[in-house]
Amino acid sequence: MVTKKILINIPTGLEARPVALLVQVASQYESSIYVECDEKKVNAKSIMGMMSLGLIAGEEVTVTAEGADEEVAMENIEKYLSSK
């Protein structure tokens, strides 16, 4: 299991389109991937779950990946959330 705190740098925050793209990135991997913010933990492969977090730019989240490809999954999730 890999856990990492990541700062969201996407200027618009995670509204509909960025959430859909994040779910696409997460869904490429076999690993279970969860995003946690303010005591709420959701599956990164769930559009509705991710939308429910209402994340904004500059917010810090904790991402957890567990599975055969957890390292590469975490690397690409971080790359996506940290990009501008």
pLDDT tens string 37-57:
999 999 999 999 999 999 999
Residue with more model confidence, 60 or 14 = 60
What is the reported pTM?
0.93
Q: Which fold has domain 2-82?
A: Histidine-containing Protein; Chain: A; (3.30.1340)
pLDDT at residue number 13? 83
Tokens linked to 34 = 């969860």
pLDDT tens string 27-39:
999 999 999 999 9
Task: In whole angstroms, give the CA distance from residue 76 to residue 81.
Answer: 9
Beta strands in the chain (DSSP E): 2-7, 32-37, 40-43, 60-66
